[in-house]
Copies of this chain bind each other. A is one copy, B any other.
Amino acid sequence: MVVQTELSDAEVDRIFHALADATRRDIVRRTLVGDASVSSLAADYAMSFAAVQKHVAVLEGAGLVTKTPRGRERLVRADPEMLARAQRLLDAYAELWRGRVERLDALIAEDT
């Protein structure tokens, strides 16, 4: 889509795909506030631990989240740098669309 951004098409694909699932969005939300082990995350979803592990892996692959070992646990946290890049990406789209919508509004206004 060649919006102003430093992200490749494949990275944008991965980011949007990672966010296209309610469980994964919830994991991002929770790890935004503070760290959480994979099992503590898994405790709140009606699916197996392994399934949650996979969701975390998808988020990790998109760079939205990082995992750091602490003892036998793996702490998951939202990665601020990648979130900032994703944020700029979303801003770029929002801005693009805003421009389009305002242009349409202007056309409608002219019609009156």
Binding site for B on A (CB under 8 A): 1-3, 9, 12-17, 19-22, 25-26, 28-29, 32-33, 78, 80, 83-84, 86-87, 90-91, 93-94, 96-98, 100-101, 104
Contacts and interface: CB of A to CB of B under 8 A. Distances in A.
A13 B20 contact: yes
Given A80-B101, A87-B93, A1 B29 contact: yes
A2 to B, nearest CB: 7
One complex includes copies of this chain to the number of 2
Closest 6 CB pairs of A and B: A16-B20, A1-B25, A90-B90, A17-B20, A87-B94, A83-B97
B29 A22 contact: no
Given A16-B17, A16-B19, A16-B20, A97 B87 contact: yes
Given A32-B100, A100-B32, A100-B78, A1 B26 contact: yes
17 contacts: A1-B29, A12-B25, A15-B20, A16-B17, A17-B20, A19-B93, A20-B20, A78-B100, A80-B101, A80-B104, A83-B100, A84-B97, A86-B93, A87-B93, A87-B97, A87-B98, A91-B94
